[in-house]
Amino acid sequence: MSELLRIENLSAGYGEAVVLHDVGLALGEGQTLALLGRNGTGKTTLINTLAGATRQHGGSITLGGAALHKLAPHLRAAAGIGWVPQERNIFKSLTVHENLTAVERPGRWNPQRVYEMFPRLAERKGNLGTQLSGGEQQMLAVGRALVLNPTLLLLDEPLEGLAPIIVEELLRAIRRITRDEGLAAIIVEQHPQAILAISDEAVVLDHGTVVHADHAASLRAQPEVLERLLGVGR
């Protein structure tokens, strides 16, 4: 398996405040990484750093062999980053369809394929972003990242605050995107067992550093380790 992403000696944060310290990890093409940790440990900061939304103080990030850390944020989508932030950041004044076509790039993912994955969006393609439920907005945010046709999908707490039925729908979609379609992904989530079940690798952050790295299946089978690292055993 070819390596897709490599992070070495990464330090980053906001302004002069350094949140990540000497972070290193690697991800192969088509692999999914579960990025875990208690609240405030640097998970979102790492996702934001990959997307170019923080200040990088040191280290390097390469994506497909190219130096991602040297690119301005607006160039990282073209380099292969598809980002779904916690805030979703959909265009609420545009319709569902306009949200997708406004950012669409050539490739296997297009609005029609997004509608096939999320029939709710197909039913609401003429609705404005403000007329969507939270779950529908999250589906649209994922769809909008997909039509960029990225090589690496970044999902920051995609299941947060959603009804159980929507959580199941999104998990099925994420499993399809990663397992069936083979798109590499990094997923931050507060429900470790749900995400470990559809991930290949797992990394746990604490105080901005990597404190544990393992195969996802191995970590999922060790609830006592999850309890120690995250304060959860399920």
Please write down the HEC assignment for all residues of 52-73: CCCEEEEEEEEECCEEHHHCCH
Could you tell me how many residues make up the chain? 234
- Give, in degrees to the nearest 5, the angle at Cα 25 between 19 and 30: 125
Q: Does the CA dihedral 96-85-165-150 come out positive or negative?
A: positive
On average, the pLDDT of the chain sits at: 95
Closest CA to 172 of 133, 150, 142, 151: 142
d(CA 176, CA 171): 9
Tell me: the pLDDT tens digits for 139-194?
Answer: 999 999 999 999 999 999 999 999 999 999 999 999 999 999 999 999 998 889 88
Q: In the chain, what are the domains? A: 1-39+52-80+151-159+182-234 (3.40.50.300)
Residue 234 — pLDDT band, cuts 50, 70, 90?
Answer: very low
Residue 64 has pLDDT above 70, yes or no: yes
Tell me: the pLDDT tens digits for 20-29?
Answer: 999 999 999 9
d(CA 181, CA 191): 23
